[in-house]
A = this chain, B = another copy of it.
Amino acid sequence: MDKKVFLRTLAGEATPRPPVWLMRQAGRYLPEYREVRAGAGGFLDLCYTPDLAVEVTLQPIRRFGFDAAILFSDILVVPDALGSEVGFVEGEGPRLIPLQGGADLARLSPARLHDHLAPVYETIRRLRRDLPPETALIGFAGAPWTLAAYMIEGGGSKDFLRARETARREPSMFGRLVDLLTEAVIAYLREQLRSGAEALQLFDSWAGVLPPDERARWSTAPLKRIVDALRGEAPVLCFPRGIGAAYAAFAAEVRPQGLSLDTTVDPAWAASAIPKGVCLQGNLDPALLVTGGEAMLEGANAIREALKGRPHVFNLGHGVLPHTPPEHVAALVRALKSA
């Protein structure tokens, strides 16, 4: 039997307490991260340098003893590996050369995918060697819709309107892009598993900007293809952020081993609406982790209560905020592990 409480919970086993990890548990709120980051070149250099990526992945494990470590990387390494030339502008987020049509799409190629991402696989191999035996290692990728949205916008956006309009106007071209990404993500995740990842998370961070018909086609269907392709190889957690009531239909249709709930989802509703076989992950408000104190602990307890009696991985509903006091994280983990 696996000793790792995170994997046991994802497998549906009743464990004495929910395992805990936090999205963006490695990051700017930690002084030791900021120190490594300052010494690296660009942000992607940090992701592509195993020495550094291993170090920042391990930092929150050493400090807080989370039950799982998530590979330190970025969802945009896949577009980067396909030829999108991703850069990060300090304080502004990612910048890509916007993909404007079929000619741009034709220039992308999966031929160098594994070569380009070899440092990520190396990072995973070293992490499996260096992590404590009780800590699971999560690999991850961005979902095809979210990656396609960044590629067409050329960066972040409030509503990814250009991407949505392109999908409406040129569905055939957009479909080829999503197919290319779906295949690349499957190949990338499979190689992460070969390198030592024990579970996988798919971030569809912008699923929530799509109306129902577009969501079915560009978000749910590709995620289902990926989950089905990897079924039996490792547990996959999906995070279709912001899809609201559609979380229930998503779970029934895609049947991932785990489902990440965003901050807005009422966990009591999720417990009643989502099939029992799907492990729920989430979903404390990251703002409560900034507040700390009793409010934070009460918020965490309310989520545990609402999800009692079913497999639950404790997490946030969104990533750790950069101005989060690390001592609040320590207090949260202490409370969750002792309760």
Contacts and interface: CB of A to CB of B under 8 A. Distances in A.
B213 A299 contact: yes
A260 to B, nearest CB: 14
A285 B247 CA distance: 20
A164 B287 contact: yes
A263 B164 CA distance: 12
Interface stretch (A59-67, A123-131, A138-146, A237-245): A237-245
Interface in A135-174: 158, 161, 164-165, 168-169
Assembly stoichiometry (copies)? 2
Most buried by B among A158, A263, A283, A317: A263
B245 A215 contact: no
A16 B283 CA distance: 45
A269 B48 CA distance: 44
A295 interface: yes
Interface in A211-259: 211-215, 242-249
A273 interface: yes
A208 interface: yes
Contacts of A100: none
A86 to B, nearest CB: 21
A62 to B, nearest CB: 28
